Amino acid sequence: MTTKVHATYRNGVFLPSTPPPVADGAEVELIITSTGEPKSLADSLDEIAHLPVEGPQDGFSGADHDRILYDPQK
């Protein structure tokens, strides 16, 4: 039987995203294919810094934030 299972490797243990269809204690053979290297904190912050301040012209802007959340007439 061949089944693809997505997992995260942490502290020496593979943690599957969903339970694999095998019996507890069964021996299996793993073929590991990396889905990408984790980003560094600096890379993640750089990506966030380059996001646009305003979205597309949808009628709502960041300037409306306080008015929407804290409108005294609500």
Question: Could you tell me the two tokens for 67?
Answer: 């008015």
The single-letter DSSP state of residue 63 is G
Rounded to an integer, the average pLDDT of 18-41 is: 86
Per-residue pLDDT reduced to its tens digit, 8-21? 989 999 999 999 99
Cα 4 to Cα 32: distance, rounded to the nearest angstrom: 10
**Spatial distance between the Cα atoms of 66 and 63, rounded to a whole number of angstroms:** 7
Residue with the two structure tokens 């593979």? 14
Residue type, 52: P
pTM for this predicted structure: 0.42
